[in-house]
Amino acid sequence: MQAIRSTALILYSAILIGCQSSPSEPVQAPEDTAGQCDASAVQKLVGEQASPALLDQARRESGAAVARILRPGDIVTLEYNTQRLTLTTDEALEIRRISCG
């Protein structure tokens, strides 16, 4: 009986060892540039008056998937989103800074 258990244990161990894969080089996912924001493409808008139409234009020209306008005192989340364009304005909605994230 002990011999059967030992043989079965050795057999199962051999099967499990055979199922293990050897380490290989990590597979890198292809970079998806769709929706990737490029703030440098719309820096010419600094000093302009922010509006919904201008925001949409800036989003399209920068290649961003989403865009937002931030005014002084607006509450923002801290997550970094490479596909988001942010137009930072003053109280009068004049664009002071354009960035991605």
pLDDT in the model for residue 30: 43
User: What is the pTM assigned to this prediction?
Assistant: 0.65
pLDDT tens digits, one per residue of 25-57: 554 444 555 669 999 999 999 999 999 999 999
Q: Per this entry, what is the length of the chain? A: 101
Residue 8 lies in a domain: no
The 8-class DSSP code of residue 49 comes to B
Q: What is d(CA 84, CA 35) in angstroms, rounded to the nearest whole number? A: 8
Residue 1 lies in a domain: no
| 72 domain-assigned | yes
Domain range enclosing 62: 39-100
pLDDT, mean over the chain: 83
What is the number of structural domains in the chain? Answer: 1
- Is residue 63 scored above 90 in pLDDT? yes
Q: What is the pLDDT of residue 27?
A: 44
